[in-house]
Amino acid sequence: MSKLLIAVCTQAKTDEEFQKLPIYPSLKKQYEANAPHVDFHVFKDNNRGLSVCYNEILRDPKHSNKTVLFVHDDVVIDDLFLYEKLIESPYAITGLAGAKSFNKQSGKLAWHLSAPPSNYVGEVSHANPEGKIWTTVFGTTKSRALIIDGLFISCKVNELNGVEFDENFNFHFYDIAFCLRANDEKVKCGVLPIHAIHHGLGDSMLSEDWETTSIKFREVYCK
């Protein structure tokens, strides 16, 4: 059977710190449900860009026939059919939510601000600091997409046609750049109904680093 590799980058320095993060119980459950068909790679104490770490996985020959899920450490994967859904996905790149279009001339280059709501697809659940959970259904939950959100990116490595992450983008815009590169190479991207809960605030667009990186992204991808 095909192998699923779940890769996580984290700034947690020790196993004890990592085990306190939202992603850890998910990894444990996936192992219990799907061993030996699921492997894990955790980049602990990581200060490198996500693109650099993700490409390290994609370039490793021993992963060439695997499906690799790149997921943030503040995500809870609450779906016991994760393995089957990703292995059997009709897409080379699978996410949770995104859009079927991307306007490179929009004022804010986030995927949900660079496409009309009618082009949104997928769904994601969120948790606030008080533990309350709500789900945002953006649109059709099984659909082709042009852009997917980077909190959850699954790749069938042997179907990527050599597409890699752009290492000029460490965190912001790495997901959009990856999807645009995939589209240029006619690599299928889409979303599936996979239940996951994101504990992030989604407020990175308010940061100075996001604004600076957006200028660099425009220079490369919006000409």
Averaged pLDDT of the chain: 92
Q: Within 13 A of 147's CA, how many CA atoms are on the CB side?
A: 22
Distance CA 86, CA 81 (A): 9
Specify the pLDDT at position 200. Answer: 75
Q: For 178-187, what is each residue's pLDDT tens digit?
A: 999 999 999 9
Specify the pLDDT at position 165. Answer: 97
Helical pair 174-184 and 208-221, crossing angle rounded to 10 deg: 20
Q: Is the pTM of this model over 0.75?
A: yes
Distance CA 211, CA 49 (A): 17
The residue-averaged pLDDT of 56-84 equals 95
The number of folded domains in the chain is 1
Specify the pLDDT at position 146. Answer: 97
For residue 2, pLDDT beyond 90: no
The residue count of the chain comes to 223
Judging by beta carbons within 10 Å of its beta carbon (0-12, 13-18, 19+), is residue 194 exposed, middle or buried? buried
Instruction: Give the pair of three-digit tokens for residue 6.
Output: 């779940």
| CATH number of the structural domain spanning residue 173 | 3.90.550.10
Instruction: Give the pair of three-digit tokens for residue 63.
Output: 């992963």
Q: Which residue range is the domain that position 197 belongs to?
A: 4-221
Specify the pLDDT at position 206. Answer: 61
Q: For 6-46, what is each residue's pLDDT tens digit?
A: 999 999 999 999 999 999 999 999 999 888 999 999 999 99
Distance CA 115, CA 106 (A): 9
Q: For 193-222, what is each residue's pLDDT tens digit?
A: 999 999 976 556 667 888 888 888 899 998
For residue 223, pLDDT beyond 90: no
Q: How many CB atoms lie within 10 A of CB 145?
A: 30
Alpha helices (H) in the chain, listed in sequence order:
15-18, 23-34, 50-58, 82-87, 174-184, 208-221
SS3 state at 152? strand
Specify the pLDDT at position 131. Answer: 78
Specify the pLDDT at position 201. Answer: 64
Q: For 106-145, what is each residue's pLDDT tens digit?
A: 877 888 889 999 999 999 999 987 878 999 999 999 999 9
SS3 state at 74? coil
